[in-house]
Amino acid sequence: MASVTSLTASVHQRLADALTAALPDAGSADPLLRRSDRADFQANGILALAKKAGANPRALAAEVVERIVKGDVIEDVEVSGPGFLNITITDRAITENLAARATDPADRLGVAHTDHPGTTVIDYAQPNVAKEMHVGHLRSAVIGDAVVRILEFVGETVVRRHHIGDWGTQFGMLIQYLLEHPHELDHRSGSEDTAVSGEEAMSNLNRIYKAARVLFDSDEEFKTRARRRVVDLQAGEPQTLDLWQRFVDESKIYFYSVFDKLDMEISDPDVVGESGYNDMLEETCRLLEESGVAVRSEGALCVFFDDVKGPDGNPVPLIVRKSDGGYGYAATDLSAIRDRVFGLKADTLLYVVDARQSLHFKMVFETARRAGWLNEDTKAQQLAFGTVLGKDGKPFKTREGETVRLVDLLDEAIDRATAVVREKAGKVGLTEDEILENGRHVGIGAVKYADLSTSAVRDYKFDLDQMVSLNGDTSVYLQYAYARIQSILRKAGDARPVAHPELALAPAERALGLHLDQFGELLMDVAAGYEPHKLTAYLYQLASHLTTFYDQCHVLSDANPPEVVENRLALVDLTARTLHQGMALLGIRTPDRL
Ligand code: ARG
């Protein structure tokens, strides 16, 4: 494997060896190593170990220092305070480490794969057929897409599932309406090149939805026909299914247009909606009933939980089959678990779904555990996300109190971002096309970054002014940091990035280099906990180290000897590639010129 051993790992190993030598009885002792402001690293583990062994911590620390191998990686170790170790790394080791990352033949910047990759099914980006997408669907898509990319990068096998809402009683009304007004979705009988746009598709669906609703609420006979149509749909009556399929297809045109705007690849085989599990529902119920996990209660098939009670103190069951024989959301999710575990052979199931559905998933997972479909080796987890709030701190709504259309929001972000890009475009010499393209990358990047940079469970404020701000923790700040490096590399002319391990480094170079060294370990941590916000924090710190570096060190200065220029080019080049890789894992583009 071509992965690069991090300096942290090397230092850790040396300290652990010295500790074991000094305290042979301690077994594998953890030196508790962290990055530190005082030196490059600090080890705090000796205190606890000394206490356990009944030794004097400072004396033990001194003994450990004696045994640490110095010179190649570790420049210096000092005992400080009650028994901490302050560790300084050699400049040579830093530069050599960065050079190894830069020349990684696998082009992974030296990042390793996880030790035990498995198969993860991730359920995300799940809009509902014949309905507009809103900010909740945005969060699921953005977080899910980032987690997919991160997991795949560290070597996990990932299966994507877009569990779209494509089944339910509302289709009776829609299908019946279309049956009685057959020309309402007729455009596709026209020539191929009159393909509808996503926008048109949604407006068709909206129109039909509203008209059908009006009829349903005002016309008792239509209502009866619509209800009968639900039965036909469930029975798989061909003409009814055909019309249902037209709603699904029309909706997909719209969904794909939104995902395209979001710069996200969603592919057809991964769209397995609620309807995809219809054939399993009956068996799921039978298995649950036979094993006694589910019981009949007032005609319905239910699962009960000791700790789930309603406001009246009575237990609230998970209803797997209603008393009228209909299956709901729970039956579908339980069947999907069986498919994902036994069909797709997943060992991890992730659900990127709104926190307001947490009780549902808690009950579904517990049911699957009782049924033996989930266990120690096969786990399910909801990556619950919080609500998107408006600037006023209340759930995001239009002035009229309606849910905000996702498309409008994205368009506004792109408009704002384009204005920001345009302001600086003259200096960089961008063409109008480039301004528009960068505007899209900056606008969509801003929305994604804002979403990903707070921990998912927390609510967050949707504030476009803040999102496209050039200063602070925003994607555009990182995109400018990247573009600035590209501009330096272009200006460097014949000078190439070449590492020179013999050179002494300035403090800002060391700080930047040591931060770059942590990228691989950070990604392992991000992947293990499904926490993209730790990656945004890392990248923001990286850009901040870069800013300090620019303040203190010139790259292309005539006063620099050529090898200093080359070494600094190597440093900024690796920084740019790390920014690019990190942003790509978040689904955000880094334009070369901005
Ligand atoms: N379509 C649902 C919604 O819009 C989300 C589906 C979540 N996934 C699942 N397996 N239940 O709220």
Element (H, E) at 141: helix 135-153
Domain 406-585: homologous superfamily in CATH: Isoleucyl-tRNA Synthetase; Domain 1 (1.10.730.10)
Quick: pLDDT tens for 430-460.
999 999 999 999 999 999 999 999 999 999 8
- State mean pLDDT over 206-222: 95
- Probe ligand 1: pick from 123, 137, 163, 367, max atoms within 8 Å of CB? 163
Residue nearest to atom 9 of ligand 1 (CA): 163
The one-letter code for the residue type at 437 is E
Distance from Cα 163 to the centre of ligand 1, integer Å: 6
Quick: pLDDT tens for 229-262.
999 999 999 999 999 999 999 999 999 999 999 9
* The two three-digit tokens of residue 329, written as one number: 């959301």
- State mean pLDDT over 282-296: 98
- Probe ligand 1: pick from 137, 357, 403, max atoms within 8 Å of CB? 357
- State mean pLDDT over 421-425: 94
Least reliable range by pLDDT among 27-41, 84-98, 157-171, 430-444:
27-41
Task: State the first-to-last Cα distance of the chain, in angstroms, to the nearest integer.
Answer: 36
- State mean pLDDT over 267-280: 97
Distance from Cα 387 to the centre of ligand 1, integer Å: 15
- Ligand 1 first shell, C-beta below 6 A: 123, 126, 128, 163, 165, 333, 351, 353
- Measured CA to CA in angstroms, residue 363 lies from 351, 374, 381 at distances of 14, 13, 12
Buried b (16+ CB within 10 A) or exposed e, 7-16: bbebbbebbb
CA dist., res. 355 & res. 350, Å (int): 13
Distance from Cα 193 to the centre of ligand 1, integer Å: 33
pLDDT of residue 311: 85
Element (H, E) at 434: helix 432-452
**At residue 187, does pLDDT exceed 70?**
no
pLDDT of residue 261: 97
pLDDT of residue 524: 97
DSSP string, 531-585: -HHHHHHHHHHHHHHHHHHHHH--SS-TTS-HHHHHHHHHHHHHHHHHHHHHHHH
Least reliable range by pLDDT among 14-23, 85-94, 281-290, 430-439:
14-23
Cα angle 591-592-594, degrees, rounded to a multiple of 5:
70
pLDDT of residue 239: 96
Across the chain, mean pLDDT equals 94
CA dist., res. 477 & res. 485, Å (int): 13
Three-state DSSP state, 354: strand
pLDDT of residue 189: 47
Distance from Cα 467 to the centre of ligand 1, integer Å: 27
pLDDT of residue 1: 53
Give 323 or 403, the one with higher predicted confidence: 323
DSSP string, 396-416: PB-TTSPBPPHHHHHHHHHHH
Residue nearest to atom 8 of ligand 1 (CA): 163
Tell how strand 460-461 and strand 388-389 pair up: parallel
Residue nearest to atom 4 of ligand 1 (CA): 127
Distance from Cα 446 to the centre of ligand 1, integer Å: 25
* The two three-digit tokens of residue 492, written as one number: 């460097």
Give 27 or 268, the one with higher predicted confidence: 268
Q: Where are the domains of the chain?
A: 7-89, 170-266, 406-585
Confidence bin at 394 (pLDDT 50/70/90): confident
pLDDT of residue 541: 98
CA dist., res. 475 & res. 449, Å (int): 6
Distance from Cα 570 to the centre of ligand 1, integer Å: 46
- State mean pLDDT over 316-337: 95
Distance from Cα 249 to the centre of ligand 1, integer Å: 19
Confidence bin at 192 (pLDDT 50/70/90): low
Quick: pLDDT tens for 536-585.
999 999 999 999 999 999 999 999 999 999 999 999 999 999 999 999 99
Quick: pLDDT tens for 134-184.
888 999 999 999 999 999 999 999 999 999 999 998 999 999 999 999 888
Residue nearest to atom 6 of ligand 1 (CA): 126
Cα angle 80-83-84, degrees, rounded to a multiple of 5:
60
pLDDT of residue 194: 63
Distance from Cα 265 to the centre of ligand 1, integer Å: 19
**At residue 298, does pLDDT exceed 50?**
yes
- State mean pLDDT over 391-414: 87
- State mean pLDDT over 499-509: 98
Second-level CATH architecture of 7-89: 2-Layer Sandwich (3.30)
Q: What residues form DSSP beta bridges with 397?
A: 403
pLDDT of residue 444: 98
Angle between helices 475-491 and 532-552 in degrees, nearest 10: 40
CA dist., res. 478 & res. 540, Å (int): 7
Q: What residues form DSSP beta bridges with 381?
A: 350
Least reliable range by pLDDT among 41-50, 474-483, 572-581, 585-594:
41-50
DSSP string, 266-330: --GGG---GGGGGGGHHHHHHHHHHTTSSEEETTEEEE--TT-B-TTSPBPPEEEE-TTS-B-HH
Residue nearest to atom 11 of ligand 1 (CA): 333
